[in-house]
Amino acid sequence: MKPSLLTMTCVLLAAVFAIPIAVPVQAAPISADSIYTGGDIVTVNELQPKAEAVAVRGGRIAAVGYRDEVMTLKGPKTRVIHLGGMTMIPGLIDAHGHVFLTGIQALSANLLPPPDGEGADIPSLQRLLKDWAPKNRKATDKIGWIIGFGYDDSQLKEQRHPTREDLDQVSTTMPVVIMHQSGHLAVMNSKALEVVGYTADSTNPEGGVIRRKQGSQEPNGGLEEAAWFGTVGKVFGQVGPMESMAILKAGTELYASFGYTTAQEGRASSDIVATMSATAKQGGLKIDIVAYPDIIIGADVIKAPLLSRRYTNHLRIGGAKLNLDGSPQGKTAWLTKPYFKAPAGQKDDYAGYAAMTDEQATAYVDKAFANGWQILTHLSGDAAIDQFIQAVRAVEKKYGMTDRRPVAIHAHTARLDQVLAFKELGILPSFFPMHTYYWGDWHRDSVLGAERAANISPTGWALEHGMTFTSHHDAPVALPDSMRVLDATVNRVTRSGRVLGPDQRVSPLVALKAQTIWSAYQHFEEKTKGSIEVGKLADFVVLDQNPLTIDPLKIAGIKVVETIKEGKTVYHRDSGIKPAAVPSSCADSDACFRMASQVLNDTGVIDVHLHAN
């Protein structure tokens, strides 16, 4: 059948003038499984920005266009879903996060500061840990530790990290560890330090620091970077396969509640990959997970069949992860200029430190390129960014330029010259704009100073120079709150209500692209995901309001009503549909923590109860 004159005219207008006209579709001989209509449909497809209806067949999008045209695909068994005036967007794609580690939050006391928790001061942390331990006896008996996650010294009333003595007030007989919200630091009590073997005679590991009591070599409980990461095996050593699978499912359920249909495990170990593979084989994954094993400790699992551009039971390995420095809010990121205010115990010229030498960094990038692995690299400080740019430039000179899509994860403090180098070398920046909300005031007043802080996560520079970029949440560093990511990318408003770097703000549509079609591009999945187009996967999110038309300052308050993966509901906020133990609401952080806990509880392995405010 030849296309009608109307169809040809619409396509031409949309292509030439980007007019938001829904392209009519021709009827097909096979009816649709479902049709969505009755609300705003934001396609994120430049040739067809809006539509009145979408038809789904076999888990893929069969038609997008005018309601009357799409309804010609309605058959006797077609489900017609009326959106009730709500908004449908493409399924959100996690540009960088840690879905397995997000599940570990369910094993931990919630120490996040307001508004995501109650960790406002050190006595609050002590109370939360003391309350958590007896309510989670099954977990503490199994693991042997009292564990808390999410304290943030920048938000504590005391404006300091807790110490071993602070945690000794929680327990002197059981090891206690609390993880910094950045994930790059932790604090242990005296018993925990004894268990992991840190004493006054212990030397700092390469790329890490054992913090000491002033005037002595005795550990004060604080552990930075490698000094903390090297103990994780002892902390979670009693977590077995069943618990690990429950943790993973908890993470995916939390992601789905925020509209993510594709999650990332952005620094997987070999054991985590084994857990994900076992869960996938059992049909336990309801959303896609793309994993990037650590190139140092997990390279042995970066191989076929999981190393693939195709998913098997919702799982694939996308490449490798490299880590070159630490956290800016924790003041372990590697900068070219000193921190605005040096952390306690450091000299005024302190600028953080590298995770490895230049030669080592170049060797790992070379390894990834030689094996054809996409490489995602954690880069917080501009000195680390320089190191990565230098490595990519050298290795590209060796192997030549091709479409490898190396990713600069975070690139918090990227300078303009570095953004231009990203474009030159084909490096895709994945920014972390949520920092402007959670730590924007801290960056301005303590970490970087006003000038550098204004350009943290420089999305405006990237857009100005015609670059594709993505935005992420880095869960569990922050909750995988998609609307908070969108809000921060658009508004850059700090906790105190001030705009941090107005020139780096972008429009709601650009911000949405950074979480959908551009994130799909980052993962080499732009042909199957990221926009509502015929032939792509039927991955959708239903929101209670339209992020493109609402007051931009209210974007963070938008709620995810439903998440749909390949035509099937995997999360619904208000109805009786509760797939895989998802509760009907995830309106705040405590509700989200309870959701993850319930998944663990349903396994019958660990009974973790987290109480609401």
For the purposes of burial, counting CB atoms within 10 Å of the CB of 603, is it exposed (0-12), middle (13-18) or buried (19 or more)?
middle
Is the pLDDT at 24 greater than 80? The verdict is no
- For 194-243, what is each residue's pLDDT tens digit? 999 999 999 999 889 999 998 899 999 999 988 988 887 788 777 778 88
pLDDT (mean) for 374-400:
98
pLDDT at 29: 55
Alpha helices in 49-157, H assignment, sequence order: 67-70, 99-104, 122-135, 137-143
Cα–Cα–Cα angle for 162, 267, 356, rounded to 5 degrees = 75
Residues 6+ apart with CB under 8 A from 464: none
Using 50, 70 and 90 to split pLDDT, how confident is the model at 186? very high
Buried b (16+ CB within 10 A) or exposed e, 300-313: ebbeeebbeeebeb
CA distance 146 to 105: 13
User: Percent of the chain having pLDDT more than 90?
Assistant: 74
Is the pLDDT at 613 greater than 90? The verdict is no
pLDDT at 247: 86
Is the pLDDT at 578 greater than 50? The verdict is no
Between these two residues, 477 and 494, which has the higher pLDDT value? 494
Window from 100-104, 324-328, 383-387, 407-411 with minimum mean pLDDT: 100-104
Beta strands of 22-84 (E only): which ranges? 34-42, 50-57, 60-65, 79-82
The full set of domains in the chain, from first to last, is 5-85 (2.30.40.10), 99-239+593-602 (3.10.310.70)
594: left (phi over 0), alpha (psi -120 to 50) or beta: alpha
CA distance 242 to 346: 43
Is the pLDDT at 426 greater than 80? The verdict is yes
CA distance 339 to 105: 30
pLDDT (mean) for 161-189:
91
DSSP state of 24: P
User: Hey, is 127 helix, strand or coil?
Assistant: helix
Give the up-direction half-sphere exposure of residue 66: CA atoms within 13 A in the CB hemisphere. 12
pLDDT at 354: 96
Is the pLDDT at 193 greater than 60? The verdict is yes
- For 242-251, what is each residue's pLDDT tens digit? 888 988 998 9
pLDDT at 575: 54
- For 492-511, what is each residue's pLDDT tens digit? 999 999 999 999 999 999 99
Mean pLDDT taken over the chain: 88
Is the pLDDT at 608 greater than 90? The verdict is no
Using 50, 70 and 90 to split pLDDT, how confident is the model at 5? very low
User: Hey, is 424 helix, strand or coil?
Assistant: helix
pTM for the structure as a whole: 0.83
pLDDT at 106: 62
DSSP letter string over 234-290?
HHSTT--HHHHHHHHHHHHHHHHHTTEEEEEEEEE-HHHHHHHHHHHHTT--SSEEE
Residue matched to tokens 């005018």: 66
pLDDT (mean) for 353-370:
97
pLDDT at 206: 87
Query: Nearest-CA neighbor of 326 among 456, 186, 171, 208?
Result: 208
- For 503-540, what is each residue's pLDDT tens digit? 999 999 999 999 999 999 999 999 999 999 999 999 99
